[in-house]
């Protein structure tokens, strides 16, 4: 992926953000930190990619949604969860679905199938896509700096890693177990 981003630059950011592109966008943010890419352009291309993909999926869902849901059982199963979230949280769900792993691509398609007005979706999707692009790119940029600090202090980390790493691993494991128990369907 790194070589893909280095070779294709902003085009890779655009393409990656049309799908579940958090990893590509975070990597691009890291490259912005390293000076290979410009963070502002990373955000612009990520925003355009996710906006165009979500709008396109919305309109596909609006016109072909019910037939697609019947034709693809996996999509139909995801649609039940998305419809449930959409009806429970309406605008909030539209603003945040791209941050929910596993339903990002299906959500705009299913929202379109719900017959939500295109104007309402666009008005909510535009700022949500911008927020997503800024947040994810900045995470990559921030962790670029963090990664550099870690590398500079590797000798200390190796010396004290067990004392710090073990409690962190236990905490991550506990959060994972609570998440699995709480959010299973």
Residue ranges of domains in the chain? 2-148, 153-185
DSSP-based three-state secondary structure for 116:
coil
pLDDT score, position 160: 60
**CB-based contact 20:45 (threshold 8 Å):** no
Residue in the structure block whose two tokens are 């710090």: 164
**Tens digit of each residue's pLDDT (9 = 90 or more) over 75-118:** 787 788 888 888 888 889 889 888 877 777 788 988 998 888 99
Q: What is the pTM of this model?
A: 0.74
| pLDDT greater than 60 at residue 1 | no
**Tens digit of each residue's pLDDT (9 = 90 or more) over 17-47:** 998 788 889 889 988 988 889 999 999 999 9
State the DSSP string of 37-106: S-HHHHHHHHHHHHHHHHHHHHHHHHHHHHHHHHH-HHHHHHHHHHHHHHHHHTHHHHHHGGGSTTTTTH
Tokens of 179: 């998440």
**CB-based contact 50:98 (threshold 8 Å):** yes
Selection from 99-103, 119-123, 142-146 with the highest mean pLDDT? 119-123
pLDDT score, position 135: 94
DSSP-based three-state secondary structure for 19:
coil
Point out the least confidently predicted range of 84-98, 133-147, 168-182: 168-182
Higher pLDDT, 138 or 143: 138
d(C-alpha 135, C-alpha 151), whole Å: 24
Tokens of 83: 């419809």
Q: Residue 168 class from Cβ within 10 Å (0-12 exposed, 13-18 middle, 19+ buried)?
A: exposed
- Give 13's contacts (C-beta < 8 A, 6+ positions apart): 5, 21, 24, 25, 28, 37, 42, 45, 46, 49
pLDDT score, position 185: 47
**Tens digit of each residue's pLDDT (9 = 90 or more) over 47-75:** 999 999 999 999 999 999 888 888 888 77
């Amino acid at each position: 992926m790194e070589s893909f981003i280095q070779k294709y630059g902003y085009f890779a950011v655009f393409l990656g953000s049309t799908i579940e592109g958090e990893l590509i966008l975070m990597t691009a943010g890291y490259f912005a930190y390293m000076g290979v890419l410009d963070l502002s352009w990373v955000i612009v291309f990520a925003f355009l990619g996710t906006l165009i993909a979500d709008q396109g999926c919305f309109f596909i869902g609006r016109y072909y949604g019910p037939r697609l849901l019947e034709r693809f059982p996996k999509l139909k199963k995801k649609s039940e969860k998305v419809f449930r979230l959409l009806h429970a949280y309406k605008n909030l769900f539209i603003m945040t679905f791209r941050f929910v792993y596993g339903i990002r691509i299906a959500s705009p398609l299913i929202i379109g199938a719900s017959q939500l007005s295109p104007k309402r979706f666009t008005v909510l999707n535009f700022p949500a896509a911008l927020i997503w692009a800024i947040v994810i790119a900045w995470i990559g940029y921030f962790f670029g700096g963090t990664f550099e600090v870690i590398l500079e202090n590797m000798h200390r980390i190796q010396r004290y890693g067990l004392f710090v790493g073990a409690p962190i691993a236990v905490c991550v494991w506990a959060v994972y177990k609570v998440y699995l128990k709480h959010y299973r369907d």
